[in-house]
Amino acid sequence: MPKTVHGLAAALPLANVDTDVIMPKRFLITITREGLADGTFADLRFHDDDTPRTDFVLNTHPWHEARILIVGDNFGCGSSREHAVWGLVQLGIQGIIGTSFAGIFYDNARKNGLALPIVSPEVRDQLMQAASHEDGASYTIDIENRVIRHGEAKLPFEMDDATQTAHLEGRDDTLNSLEFADAIRKYEGRLGDQQRVRVIQ
């Protein structure tokens, strides 16, 4: 995973955007992760006849090329569908800046390399205002130093140590578990010995 995320930012100032808005349930029938970009924000991006909504930010110039979203409070609430994160990543979104994220959504993002810097409302509003300028604004999310760079500004963000390490080292839950492989084998060995004793008795 990259140590920085850089790109054009789009403002999505809606609060409590849940995972059904991010990935409507009709797109969950696939048995693979492919093709989920089309479902991402589908009801916000498209009319019922599948024509693009011209009033949605990701359908407009220059934000159709956005790699970062600036979002309202409590983004990613609702059900635990990981498809929401898969779809965002497939759409090209590499980072989402907000004041708060739902816990399961945050964990799913960490596992899939989607950076979620947490900032104060004041910083969020500042970044959102700049991103809404007609020419757009590009930001760099510096995960290693936990700052967002915008021009000369360096704005700090929160990210817990485990999430930061996961992004910097490309780790996931499986790799973390493998660090304890020796302890797991010893435990399994003891468990096997106990079972054999019970059989003998």
Q: Residue 176's pLDDT is what?
A: 46
Q: Report residue 198's pLDDT band, with 50, 70 and 90 as the boundaries.
A: low
Q: How far apart are CA 39 and CA 116, in angstroms?
A: 21
Q: Residue 178's pLDDT is what?
A: 44
Farthest-apart Cα atoms in the chain, separation: 79
Q: Residue 201's pLDDT is what?
A: 61
Mean pLDDT, range 117-122, rounded to an integer: 98
106 CA to centre of own chain: 6
Q: How far apart are CA 126 and CA 61, in angstroms?
A: 21
Has residue 154 got a pLDDT over 80? Answer: yes
Q: How far apart are CA 15 and CA 134, in angstroms?
A: 23
172 CA to centre of own chain: 14
84 CA to centre of own chain: 9
Order across the sheet with 4-12: list the strands: 95-97, 68-71, 4-12, 137-142, 147-150, 153-156
Q: Report residue 174's pLDDT band, with 50, 70 and 90 as the boundaries.
A: very low
Mean pLDDT, range 38-46, rounded to an integer: 97
Question: Are the beta carbons of 106 and 76 closer than 8 angstroms?
Answer: yes
Mean pLDDT, range 160-167, rounded to an integer: 95
Helix, strand, coil fractions of the chain, as percent rounded to 5: 40, 20, 40
Q: Which residue has the higher pLDDT, 33 or 70?
A: 70
Has residue 23 got a pLDDT over 70? Answer: yes
Has residue 69 got a pLDDT over 80? Answer: yes
Mean pLDDT, range 98-122, rounded to an integer: 97
Helices (H), 9-71: 19-22, 42-45
Burial (CB < 10 A; 0-12, 13-18, 19+), residue 81, is buried
Question: Are the beta carbons of 153 and 91 closer than 8 angstroms?
Answer: no
Mean pLDDT, range 174-197, rounded to an integer: 62
Mean pLDDT, range 98-123, rounded to an integer: 97
Closest by CA to 98, choosing from 160, 17, 188, is 17
pTM: 0.84
Q: Report residue 189's pLDDT band, with 50, 70 and 90 as the boundaries.
A: confident
Has residue 88 got a pLDDT over 60? Answer: yes
